[in-house]
Amino acid sequence: MPLSATRQARLENGLPKIEITLPEVGVQVAPETYFDGTHSDFWLEIGFGKGEHLAALAAAHPEIGMIGSEPFLNGVSGLVDLVVEGNLPNVRVFKDDARLLMDSLPEASIGRAFILFPDPWPKARHHKRRMVSAGNIAVLSRILKDGAELRIGTDHMEYCRWIMAHMLASADFVWQCDNPADWRNRPDDWPSSRYEIKSREAGRVSSYLRFIRRPRSL
């Protein structure tokens, strides 16, 4: 759907102030390079939709540099609106495939990452397109700090089983779960998104999965 004239103008004015431009292929850039001022940590959301979750975290944690990646223009426009309306100087946006951004980040440079309600690509021939894969898990393992948290949300049960199988196959992550409530209930510090609300209204049940990056070997 085309953007309205007002949203297009806001996007053209606001995006250049927060957009990330990657270095040449093979060059890695520390996340603090993209921000003004000093931040205590840097968090990454992969596929932020319309940006509600990322903007809520940015408002709650002004000391954190929030980086979001989203290839779709309507989603980017939605986040730019929220950044302007909320006066959120600690947000940066990469409007392309998150894997390009992740490849450009140094080892152990991200303190928390989020993959929330990604496309489940339900047809078997499309499973290779799923964001949660052995290759992407390995990249996340590289860029996450020791003890960093990876949060993954989904309302697609078959994809949830896929996610768990792939994450538990990695020796670099530990699932944070003591009882079923730990993955059935959204934690208080996990803001909801527009998609999640619509999913719940449609009667679908979501899973909220949390994993911790194991310490690297000394």
What is the residue type of 98? A
Q: Where are the alpha helices (DSSP H) in the chain?
A: 5-18, 52-60, 73-86, 98-103, 134-143, 157-168, 181-184, 194-201
Show Cβ contacts of residue 133 under 8 Å, excluding neighbours closer than 6 positions: 166
Per residue of the chain (218 residues), what is the pLDDT tens digit?
677 777 777 787 889 999 999 989 889 999 999 999 899 999 999 999 999 999 999 999 999 999 999 999 999 999 999 999 999 999 999 999 999 999 999 999 999 999 999 999 899 999 999 999 999 999 999 999 999 999 999 999 999 999 999 999 999 999 999 999 999 999 999 999 888 999 999 999 999 999 999 999 75
Provide the whole-model pTM: 0.94
Instruction: Give residue 9's identity as a one-letter amino acid code.
Output: A
The dihedrals phi and psi of 69, each to the nearest 5 degrees, come to -120, 130
Asked if the 5-213 domain carries CATH number 2.40.50.140, the reply is no
List residues with catalytic annotation.
119
* Coil vs helix vs strand at 51: coil
Within 13 Å and on the Cβ side, how many CA atoms surround 174? 11
Q: How many angstroms separate the CA atoms of 29 and 101, rounded?
A: 10
